[in-house]
Amino acid sequence: MTLDSKIPAGPLSEKWDRHKFNLKLVNPANKRRYDVIIVGTGLAGASAAASLAELGYNVKTFCFQDSPRRAHSIAAQGGINAAKNYRNDGDSVYRLFYDTIKGGDYRAREANVHRLAQVSVNIIDQCVAQGVPFAREYGGLLDNRSFGGAQVSRTFYAKGQTGQQLLLGAYSAMNRMVGSGQIKSYTRHEMLELVMVDGQARGIIARDMVTGEIERHSAHAVVLCTGGYGNVFYLTTYARGSNATAIWRAHKKGAFFGNPCMTQIHPTCIPVSGDHQSKLTLMSESLRNDGRIWVPKQKGDPRPPADIPEDDRDYYLERRYPSFGNLVPRDIASRAAKDMCDKGYGVGKTGLAVYLDFSDAINRLGEKAVEAKYGNLFDMYKQITGDNPYKTPMMIYPAVHYTMGGLWVDYNLMTTIPGLYACGEANFSDHGANRLGASALMQGLADGYFVLPYTIGDYLAGVERKPIANDTPEFMEAEKAVKERLNKLLSIKGKKTVHDFHRELGLIMWNHCGMGRNEQGLKEGIVKMRALREEFWKDLLVPGSDNELNQNLEKAGRVADYLELGELMMVDALERKESCGGHFREEYQTPEGEALRDDDNFAYVAAWEYKGDNQAHQLHKEELEYEFIQRSQRSYK
Amino acid sequence: MSKFFEFLNSSVGRKWLMAFTGLFLCLFVLVHMSGNLQLFKNDGGKAFNQYAVFMTTFPLIKVVSYVNYLLILVHALNGFYLVNKNRQARPVKYAGAKSDASASWSSRNMGLLGTVLLVFIVIHMGHFWREFHFVPMEAKQYITKIGEIPTEGTPFDTVITIQAKDFKEPRHYTINQQDMSGRMATYEVVELKDLYGEVAEAFKSPLYVAFYVLAMIALSYHLAHGFQSAFQTFGIRSKTYAPIIKGLGNLLFAIIIPALFAAMPLYFLFIKH
Amino acid sequence: MSGNMNLTLKVWRQKNASDTGRIETYPAKNISPDMSFLEMLDVVNEDLIKEGKDPIAFDHDCREGICGMCSMYINGRAHGPNKGVTACQLHMRSFKNGDTIIIEPWRAAAFPVLRDLIVDRTALEKIQQAGGFVSVNTGSAPDANAIPVPKWNADEAFNAAACIGCGACVAACKNSSAMLFMSAKVSQYALLPQGKAEAKMRVTNMLKVHDEQGFGACTNTEACEAECPKGISVSNIARMNREYAAAMLAGE
């Protein structure tokens, strides 16, 4: 099978408009004869569901939470980028496009990223019209802040709760359609299998998480908006429920997996405090606008941070990257922190932390102003650590936060399975090897509001307008497979809980496929992963049954999938013998320790095809053509 | 009109009804209390008894008082309805609720306080109001010298008791007769039902006084929450005015009014026996 | 480890919606003060599973205080003793060695218990679906800066919109009223020009559903505000009362 990215021809800035014109349309009267299933109701899912329902399609949404509003998009703090140029500081669609491509270390598609930058302006308009309370200036117009990887102020925000407000906006749009009957919302439902009929995605098998009932749902198209798969790492900033099951099931049914090794480690998270820890908490990147990152110049300096004089502090980001300073992209900031800690300059009990200091900002702007900007983040930090960041610097350390990889999709966001789409973090799309801050919200909403509603029609226009039966052999078989799998998990009755396995899995991933990766480590990791997987299926202990609310059973299914996905991530990382963005292979670095890309051999998207259990994945390469941008060594100095 | 009833039947509308009737009753309590201050006058109960007649005969006041009885009924019935409905909203109670940590005692016990007050009102009206209206009662004849100021001796003010069976209706007339010095003078004669005497008699019982004081404590707590709460229900709330409404409301309705009301039985029990 | 605590948990256990449920007692041993409350429950659950018992089911997801999934009544308070935090942000340093902790689900007729500490909050969804939106189709929006919004309004709208829909207000209210929840949404839109057009319809429809779902009426105890992890103000309820009366009583 050859990959066709379906990128339209023509000048960069006209590609999307031309493409929209060329896409087939579904007659308004016919739209109601098509059913679309949307799995996941975060920014991408909720916005897609609302927009498709507004168009007249019958939409069914599925989420594992008790409400679409709880999707983890809600936790995004900092903001959303848009090329509005309200600041008159030289921003433009092209500059946002350029920054995003460069930020992604030249591993994203030009056409996709340009489209993203183009529709970014519509997103802000849409959200404001929905009543999203963005921060405003006294004149009543929208305020902006700056974010990592950009030298213009283009980030729109709502205090430290931008993701929440945008999600609630999309959720409200969705609610309107639920109220009108155009969307049927299934909550506390988890998709456990994709159903294919004649090689096309035609439905899903879902489990009612309250009763345990297995349900068959059919549709003319299935859209996966289930977010990223970072929870493979166990300790992450993801929600505990975030999982890869939907995309992994789809992958095993034929959807290629794009760039699985591309994970983002966020530089400003609260460090780990002990073994009991269940998740890591992110402190918005916006903190780097006013906070200065430093470590003591002397290793193991025992003095409290406030007592360490200016001369004994190493503001290493400002020193190494004078022009971007504390606002370098995330991969660079994270790696620099790891680098300093590895060299022994780390602070705190574990030595795995650096200071993020606001004393300058407090002196310059006053505590009030700092509180107005970051108050909720400071409160959160205090709540978790017991330290007061107004008085003593925060301690931060990088943590897994986002996955740039995901299901491979073409320009229409369709996976390699006809009728199966992936939007938002679930696809590999627009961020290349590293995502810039405030771009995840942008991409999720761009996909859901402004891309999918056009592109899905092109597919549906060619699909027969009759209801899809959900009792065909394909559905019955998929349902049976799901039930068998659940029974298998319950029947092992071993000694280790699913949390035990998840924790071990996370450790393997973090040690072998974390911020720094190398050939030997990855190879060892793969061996360990296979052993753990084997142990899992022999020694897992899941209490209870499958016909009740059973949180351990839910999680067991997810961890089973991580155990396979984790291996693919390491296989991909091993295959990519270069460093780029979030993927840092220690063998490939510049003399200064920066990522060293290999454009001659690795300027491609790795799309992995599943070939069967215990069979090696097959690699397909989508070469990345750069027509408009000159690739260069990324520099933020 | 149906919209109006839909409003009244909604949870917010029922609260409006509580607030509206409650505020009217606050006003009534204020007037009632100021009127009753006549009890403290050292005039043999004349002012108080006059006030009692005025309140029960003046047409406008009469209308208002019947409205008042109606509103008490509406307030109470609606209150019972809401308490019951709100109980149904939580069929299973918490085993370890620490409600005092988040809300004041009075705000959580309006139903209880209201019930105490309703019982009080029934007893109170069953006693004074019923007897005043329907039961023959001793009356007083207040004779006061008017017109000419006496030059010597004390003013000739006399209070004469009239037996209940001899009293028909309140009268107000003047007579001319000799005063103590033998000079002719004009006297004002007022004949009134002696509610004051009833009150003074009733409040000789410590148990009865205790019940009244208890009821006034209930009133204090009821209005501490109720008065300011009504404004919240009407949506009259701003950062600037909320503390003022709360502060002044509490001072007047939760402290001054119940305290003065409670002072009346105590006055008769301990001071004026 | 030194400083670790031993606690006694009294937890509501209920197999499913039709089970009657009861409080059961479990020890929580060797609990670090740095753990979050939910991490403490994780530890207890791991022990229960290994002892062959059913772990305690509780809702949780983001574990950083924003998704609104976690919902438990801890020692008689919604989300526990600390102000302005959800159960997932409550840390064990707020408790002492030897403490007994009572853990119950949200209690309301509108929130039936599904299992143990998990309740069904679909009733809140229904309120939102009745009017918690601005009717604007994707693609039909004017430029974001076309309508200036006074900063005060934008900030107040934001403060109202900060609601995470956890239901603590309902749980803390003696009447199980969802007025704070609903009024936050009504207020957010009432304060913004974008929401004005359908303000009347919104508040009437939302209140109708609120009452139908079996939530109680507000009696202004303000327990909701005191227990709200996001500090949503009861002034939103005042605004909603105003909006509702204006919508229902104004002549047409």
**Per-residue pLDDT tens over the stretch A487-508:** 999 999 999 999 999 999 999 9
Q: Which residues of C touch B90 (CB under 8 A)?
A: 107-109, 174-176, 216
Q: What gap in Å lies between CA A242 and CA A234, rounded to an integer? A: 11
* Touch of B by C (3+ CB pairs closer than 8 Å): yes
Catalytic residue (one of A288, A330, A335, A435): A330
> How far off is chain B from C130, nearest CA to CA, in Å?
16
For residue A246, pLDDT over 50 is answered with yes
> Where is mean pLDDT largest: A203-212, A271-280, C242-251?
A203-212
Count H helices and E strands in chain C, helices first.
9, 7
Q: Residue C241: closest CA among chain B residues belongs to which residue?
A: B235
- Domain boundaries along the sequence of chain B: 2-88+106-135+198-271, 139-193
Q: What gap in Å lies between CA B214 and CA A97, rounded to an integer? A: 76
Largest CA distance in chain A: 74
Q: What gap in Å lies between CA A41 and CA A172, rounded to an integer? A: 12
> Identity (one letter) of the amino acid at A272?
V
Nearest partner of A266 among A509, A430, A437, A510, judged by Cα: A437
Determine whether A330 is an active site residue.
Answer: yes
For residues A518-526, give the mean pLDDT. Answer: 97
Q: What is the pLDDT of residues A157-200, one digit of tens each?
A: 998 899 999 999 999 999 999 999 999 999 999 999 999 999 99
Q: What is the pLDDT of residues A266-284, one digit of tens each?
A: 999 999 888 888 899 988 8
Q: What gap in Å lies between CA B239 and CA B260, rounded to an integer? A: 31
Q: What is the pLDDT of residues B185-210, one digit of tens each?
A: 788 889 999 999 999 999 999 999 99
| Three-class DSSP category at A202 | strand
Q: Residue A284's pLDDT is what?
A: 82
Q: What gap in Å lies between CA A96 and CA A150, rounded to an integer? A: 8
Nearest partner of B55 among B152, B151, B1, B129, judged by Cα: B129
**Facing residue for B99 by CB, picked from C207, C217, C223:** C223
Total Cβ atoms within 10 A of residue A183: 28
Burial category of A106 from C-beta neighbours within 10 Å (exposed 0-12, middle 13-18, buried 19 and up): buried
Q: Which contiguous run of DSSP H or E holds residue C7?
A: strand C5-13
For residue B154, pLDDT over 50 is answered with no
Structure tokens at A565: 């996905």
For residues A590-602, give the mean pLDDT. Answer: 91
Q: Which residues of C touch B103 (CB under 8 A)?
A: 172, 174, 221-223, 226
Residue C183: HSE in the Cβ half-sphere, 13 Å Cα cutoff: 29
Structure tokens at B238: 């701003």
**Facing residue for C109 by CB, picked from B90, B94, B232:** B90
Q: Residue B144's pLDDT is what?
A: 82
**A28, A56 in Cβ contact below 8 A?**
yes
Q: What is the ipTM of this complex?
A: 0.97
**What top-level class would CATH report for the domain A265-400?**
alpha beta
Cα–Cα–Cα angle for C198, C204, C206, rounded to 5 degrees: 95
| Three-class DSSP category at B16 | helix
For residues A377-404, give the mean pLDDT. Answer: 92
Q: Determine the CATH number of domain C5-104.
A: 3.10.20.30
Which residues, 6+ apart, have CB-to-CB distance to A443 below 8 Å? A44, A116, A424, A425, A429, A430, A431
Contacts of the segment C21-27: beta carbons below 8 A, 24+ positions apart: C21/C113, C23/B95, C23/C102, C23/C104, C26/C56
- Inter-chain residue contact A176 with C133, CB threshold 8 Å: yes
* Touch of C by A (3+ CB pairs closer than 8 Å): yes
Q: Residue B96: closest CA among chain C residues belongs to which residue?
A: C76
For residue A107, pLDDT over 90 is answered with yes
DSSP structure class, residue A215: E
Q: What gap in Å lies between CA A186 and CA A395, rounded to an integer? A: 41
For residues A192-219, give the mean pLDDT. Answer: 98
Instruction: Tell the residue number behind the tokens 């309508």, with chain if given.
Output: C147
Q: Which residues of C touch A540 (CB under 8 A)?
A: none
Query: Positive or negative CA dihedral for B193, B195, B197, B202?
Result: positive
Q: What are phi and psi of C29, to 5 degrees?
A: -105, 145
Alpha helices in A461-588, H assignment, sequence order: 473-491, 498-513, 519-539, 551-575
Count H helices and E strands in chain A, helices first.
18, 19
Which residues, 6+ apart, have CB-to-CB distance to C215 below 8 Å? B11, B89, C108, C110, C123, C170, C175, C176, C177, C178, C179
Structure tokens at A620: 């397909």
On whether any CB of chain C is under 8 Å from the CB of A283, the answer is no
> How far off is chain C from A128, nearest CA to CA, in Å?
6
> How far off is chain A from C69, nearest CA to CA, in Å?
7
CA-to-CA separations, A474 to A218, A249, A465, B42, C12, in angstroms, rounded = 11, 15, 19, 99, 42
DSSP structure class, residue B40: G
Q: Residue A159's pLDDT is what?
A: 86
Cα–Cα–Cα angle for A429, A431, A437, rounded to 5 degrees: 140
Q: What gap in Å lies between CA A11 and CA A16, rounded to an integer? A: 10
**C-alpha radius of gyration, chain A, whole number:** 24
For the domain with range A19-46+57-202+405-460, which CATH number is right: 3.10.180.10, 3.30.70.940, 3.30.429.10, 3.50.50.60? Answer: 3.50.50.60
Question: Which chains are adjacent to chain C, needing at least 3 Cβ pairs under 8 Å?
Answer: A, B
Q: Which pLDDT band, with edges at 50, 70 and 90, does B153 fall under?
A: very low
Q: What gap in Å lies between CA A366 and CA A360, rounded to an integer? A: 9
Q: For the domain made up of C122-249, give the CATH fold.
A: Fumarate Reductase Iron-sulfur Protein; Chain B, domain 2 (1.10.1060)
**Facing residue for C118 by CB, picked from A136, A386, A549:** A549
Q: Which residues of A touch C52 (CB under 8 A)?
A: 543
On whether any CB of chain C is under 8 Å from the CB of A134, the answer is yes
CA-to-CA separations, A122 to A79, A114, A614, C96, in angstroms, rounded = 15, 14, 46, 53
Question: b or e along C36-63 (b: 16 or more beta carbons within 10 Å of the residue's beta carbon)?
Answer: bbbbbbbbbbebbbeeeebbbbbbbbbb
For residues A106-119, give the mean pLDDT. Answer: 97
Cα B126 to chain centroid distance, Å, stands at 14
> How far off is chain C from A594, nearest CA to CA, in Å?
33
Q: Which residues of A touch C32 (CB under 8 A)?
A: 274, 276
Q: Residue A167's pLDDT is what?
A: 98
DSSP structure class, residue C93: G
Q: Residue B148's pLDDT is what?
A: 59
Q: What are phi and psi of A396, to 5 degrees?
A: -135, 160
DSSP letters for A351-401: S--EEEE-HHHHHHH-HHHHHHHHHHHHHHHHHHHS--TTTS-EEEEEEEE
| Three-class DSSP category at A91 | coil
Q: Which of A130, A167, A451 to probe the C interface (max C CBs under 10 A)?
A: A130
For residues B7-34, give the mean pLDDT. Answer: 96
Q: Which pLDDT band, with edges at 50, 70 and 90, does C19 fall under?
A: very high
- Inter-chain residue contact B11 with C109, CB threshold 8 Å: no
> How far off is chain B from C148, nearest CA to CA, in Å?
24
**Facing residue for B235 by CB, picked from C109, C222, C238:** C238
Which residues, 6+ apart, have CB-to-CB distance to A27 below 8 Å? none
Total Cβ atoms within 10 A of residue B182: 6
A504 or B160: which leads in pLDDT: A504
Total Cβ atoms within 10 A of residue A618: 12
For residues A105-121, give the mean pLDDT. Answer: 97
Cα–Cα–Cα angle for A558, A559, A565, rounded to 5 degrees: 90
On whether any CB of chain B is under 8 Å from the CB of C96, the answer is no
For residue A26, pLDDT over 80 is answered with yes
Q: Which of A551, A552, A555, A558 to probe the C interface (max C CBs under 10 A)?
A: A551
- Domain boundaries along the sequence of chain C: 5-104, 122-249
Q: Determine the CATH number of domain A480-623.
A: 1.20.58.100
